[in-house]
Structure formats: structure tokens, C-alpha cells
Chain A
Amino acid sequence: MAVPRYWREIPARYNLIGKKCTVCGRVYFPPRPICPVCRRKSAGKMVDYKLKGTGTVVSYTVIHSPPPHFEGEEPYVMALIKMDEGPHLIGEIVDCEEDEIKIGMRVKATFRRIMDDGEKGAIYYGYKFVKE
């Protein structure tokens, strides 16, 4: 992966910085350039907004057939999480037994290694989730 492609997403992936529409107050993560409710009124009024990192599991799956960069990691749990500020996101749940994971479970974000580009390539970091 080209470095700029990874580098420009660092604020969101490292620090959960999304956007807040200062017209209606809704929070978006990952960041959106335009508020889908206020649209043109939101132009120039979307400001950075850091999520607390806590949320609730809406649904989850255990991946047994992984994509190329995740071979050897399986099985791992991927979840759809509703963050306390409102937005949903997709993230891995770690440090927890599979049978402990339930819909409705409280989770919090943690900073982890996501994948790498091989022995000499970049290492990509970002958020995963653990039990709150």
C-alpha cells in the first residue's frame, strides 16, 4: 500500500478523530466531508471531533476465511459497533474468548497493530476493541 494512503488516515485510525456537523450536532465516524442531513448547510462547518472510544456490539462474526494480509490470524472476531456518540463502525474484538462476545456487550477502543506489508514494508496500526 502506498504510504500516503495509509498516512492520511492516521488521525482517524490512531485517535478516533471523526467529524461533527456544527449545524445539527451529529457526529460522524469515519469522517465524512458532508453531513447527509444538513448537506450544503454543513459546507465548511464540519469540525474534527474525537470519539471517547466506547460503544456497544450491534452484531459480530467470527472470520474463518481471511483476506490476504490476515492469513494466519483466523479465527478472529469482527464486530459492528455503535459508538456512544452515535456512529457505527467495524472493528475487531480482541483479548476475549469467543463465547464471551454477545450482542449488547460494552466495548472500548484500544490501539493495536492491524497488519503489515511484509518483512520490509510498513506496519499499519489502528483501533481494535476490548471488553469495557
Chain B
Amino acid sequence: MREVAVIGVGMTKFGEIWDKSFRDLVAEAGMKAIMDAGIEGKDIDAMYIGGMSSGGFVEQEHVAPLAIEVAGLEEFHIPATRVEGACASGGIAVRHGYMAVASGMHDIVIVGGAEKMTDVAGTEATNVLASAADREWEAFFGMTFPGLYALMARYHMHKYGTTPEQLASVAVKNHYNGSMNPNAQYKRRITVDDVLASPMVADPLHLLDCSPITDGAAAIVLAPVDIAKEYTDKIVRFRASAQASDTISLFNRSRFDALPVTIHAGERAFKQAGLTPKDIDLVEVHDCFTIAEIMAIEDLGFFKKGEGGKATEEGLTALDGELPVNTSGGLKSKGHPVGATGVAQVIEITLQLRGEAGERQVKDARIGMTHNVGGSGGTAVVNILEAI
């Protein structure tokens, strides 16, 4: 296996981007990543794009050749593949790109992720997202996606005494971080009271416990470390890229106070890297709901099970805490264009490891992690990146 580096990153602003189409977003993110890498279109050997439901959101499938076309790359006829794993689509695309380069199959690979979610009404977007859950045995009966995480939130609260204020403190922290991210959907700082006063979506989750509906695209360029040296002297390499699966349905899981899929992907990533949670300087976790961040920092081994809420409330995961979590603003504040999220997480860690994260820069960041979840925990991808 060859060592793999990220040599270029690019993303659109995340938000309600009414004046740009799915294809505009893909072209913009891809072009920015290619320019950042200092490569030309002809240098690219393969492309992967993550997307959850371009069919559901913009009635367009087969988006890999669409991305090739908008990028003007058709004359090279490179393999272009779309991958889907609900909200982990981007993370899986990254891992496929990583495997293609690590295996020696391809040298320079571009990995993108995109979702255009605001071209349908809010209830329709909720319905499309519900297809990441079990349609026949969860959604059919009136269950929603926030509802599934609300079940886990209440269970966690009941078992460990996690409070609504602790859940809210995740959103407060992530909005604070996002206020310093020029690409974030929401730059407004909020308080615990704001979260608790926002309308209930699925009790105990308020509107401000939930990540938003977002348009956006993100792209990265990968290359073997040896080749990366020709393009950049700020090399960020993969120490691990791990993926795990579990049941699509929540009700068939072995436990409800954790995402077993995160535990398995995390353990695999640490094993591959030969590292432990203590070695990680910062992490981007999948905070689709506030409870998801609390479970993630426990399941990845950073905090004991049941203590994630308390750790967040005490500021241990703040920008200046012992383990900064979601410096980008996370899904909550940066936005969650589902297919793009897993790629955007790698972009944030890369920027931090290069020392290019601006106001939200974590001092002396050397090793970072990304954690991307599909559905209510059917899929997870965990990457560990290191500056060399």
C-alpha cells in the first residue's frame, strides 16, 4: 500500500444557494480543488463523487459523468464513479479515492461530494432524507430522521443523565466555531437559551439541535506522497481510512446509547494508524443532531460513555479545549449538504493541519480525524490525517 496525501482542497460556500444549480456547485468545488493542487485536468486519473439523492432532490442520477462534463474533462474518458451511503456518501467517496491511490491503481484522483437540497420544499426534503432510514419499518409509520436521533437522545438522557442544556451546548459551540468559517451556512452565535427556546422538532430535539438543509459541494485531490512532493510542501497524509456497516434500521441495533458503527470504524482507524485517542489534536465529527456529537466523542474513545454531554458543557471540546471538536462549525453551523459533508470534513482537517484555518486555527495541530455517519448509524467512515 502506498501512502496517500491530500494535495488540493476546494469547496463552495454552504447554505441556501438559490442562484446556483447542482452542476454549478460541482464545477466550482472541483475547479477550486484542482487550482489549489496546482494540477491540470489532464493529470487526473480517476474521479469519485459522493451524493445521497440527487434523484430525490433534483431528479438527476448518473452524476459522475455529469461532473466530468461540467468540469470539461470528457476528452480524457477517465473512470468516474458516484458512490452513495446516505449522509456518509462523501466519506465513502474519500475512502474509495484513498484506496485507488493506495493500491497503486491510480496516481491522481479527485474526490467530490455534492448535494442540492433546497430545490424541493422542506417536507419533501425531510421525506428524501427519511429514505436513509428503513422506509418500510420506520418511515412508513410516521418516523422521521430527527425522530430516530430523538429516540437515542432520550435513551441517553435516561441512562446517563445527559441534559437538554448539555445537548444545547454542542450547538452553541459549533455555531461559535462556524461564526469564524467564511463558508459556513450560519455565522450567528447562539446561546443555550436560544436552543431551548427554539421550536421542538422531535422531542427532546429542538430546531437548533438539528443540522440544516443545505446546498453545497466540496472536492479534494489525492496523490501518492512521493508525487505530492512535486506539487506542495505542506503535505497532509492519511494515517488511516476506515469504514464500517451496521443495520439500516435503528430498532435492530445491538445498543441504543451509542452508534456501534462508529465504535467499529474508529477502532479500525486507530489500529491502522497505530494511534490512540490521546494522539488526536482535533476532530470533525458527524453532528447531524447535537446528540450525535455527544455519542460520537464517546464512541470514538475520547470520553467515557455517558460523559460526552458533561465534557461538552465544560468546554473540553471547545476551540481552546483539550480536544477541539468541529472547528469548522460542524454540520450544525457550517451546514450539511449530505453528499458533500464527508469531503468537507477532510477539507477542514487539511486546512487546520496546513495552518490555514484563519481565526479558528488550532495551535500546533498535527494529527486530525474525520467521522462521517450515514443514516441513523448504518454506515460510518473515519479518517486520520497527519501533517508531515
Give the interface centre of A76, A80, A87, A114 by most chain B CB atoms within 10 Å.
A80
Complex: A94 Cα to B140 Cα, angstroms: 16
Report yes or no: A64 in contact with B201, Cβ–Cβ below 8 A.
yes
* Segment with Cβ contacts to A, from B27-35, B58-66, B250-258: B250-258
Contacting residues of chain B (70-93) with chain A, CB-CB under 8 angstroms: none
Instruction: Name the B residues within 8 Å of A90 (CB-CB).
Output: 137-138, 141, 143, 250-251
Interface range on chain A (Cβ under 8 Å from partner): 20 to 34
Shortest beta-carbon distance, B158 to chain A, in Å? 5
Interface range on chain B (Cβ under 8 Å from partner): 20 to 34
Report yes or no: A67 in contact with B158, Cβ–Cβ below 8 A.
no
Report yes or no: B256 in contact with A80, Cβ–Cβ below 8 A.
yes
Interface flag for A71 (CB, 8 Å):
yes
Interface flag for A59 (CB, 8 Å):
yes
Instruction: Name the B residues within 8 Å of A103 (CB-CB).
Output: 154-155, 158
Q: Bits for A100-132, please: 1 = Cβ < 8 Å to B, else 0.
A: 000100000000001100000000101010000
Give the interface centre of A63, A87, A103 by most chain B CB atoms within 10 Å.
A63
Complex: A113 Cα to B147 Cα, angstroms: 20
Using CB atoms, name the residue of chain A closest to B247: A36
Using CB atoms, name the residue of chain A closest to B126: A67
Q: Bits for A50-74, please: 1 = Cβ < 8 Å to B, else 0.
A: 0000000011111111111111010
Instruction: Name the B residues within 8 Å of A80 (CB-CB).
Output: 151, 155, 250-251, 256
Complex: A114 Cα to B136 Cα, angstroms: 12
Using CB atoms, name the residue of chain B closest to A124: B140
Shortest beta-carbon distance, B349 to chain A, in Å? 32
The answer, among A64, A71, A78, A126, for a CB contact under 8 Å with B143, is A78
Interface flag for B196 (CB, 8 Å):
no
Instruction: Name the B residues within 8 Å of A71 (CB-CB).
Output: 123
Q: Count how many pairs of residues, one from A and one from B, have CB atoms less than 8 Å apart in the complex.
A: 98
Interface flag for B161 (CB, 8 Å):
no
Complex: A58 Cα to B256 Cα, angstroms: 9
Report yes or no: A126 in contact with B127, Cβ–Cβ below 8 A.
no
Instruction: Name the B residues within 8 Å of A30 (CB-CB).
Output: 136-137
Using CB atoms, name the residue of chain B closest to A30: B137
Instruction: Name the B residues within 8 Å of A75 (CB-CB).
Output: 200, 203
Complex: A50 Cα to B200 Cα, angstroms: 37
Report yes or no: A60 in contact with B201, Cβ–Cβ below 8 A.
no
Instruction: Name the A residues within 8 Å of B201 (CB-CB).
Output: 64-65
Interface flag for A10 (CB, 8 Å):
no
Interface flag for B142 (CB, 8 Å):
yes
Interface flag for A91 (CB, 8 Å):
yes
Report yes or no: B203 in contact with A114, Cβ–Cβ below 8 A.
no
Contact status of A64 and B202, CB under 8 A, knowing A78-B147, A88-B252: yes
8 A-B pairs closest in CB distance: A61-B150, A62-B203, A88-B251, A59-B155, A59-B151, A70-B142, A65-B201, A61-B202
Hey, which bits of chain B sit against chain A, CB under 8 A? 123-124, 126-127, 130, 136-144, 146-147, 150-155, 158, 199-205, 250-252, 256
- 11 extra interchain contacts, Cβ-Cβ under 8 A, other than A89-B137, A90-B138, A92-B141? A59-B256, A65-B201, A66-B123, A66-B144, A68-B123, A73-B142, A75-B200, A75-B203, A88-B251, A88-B252, A126-B141
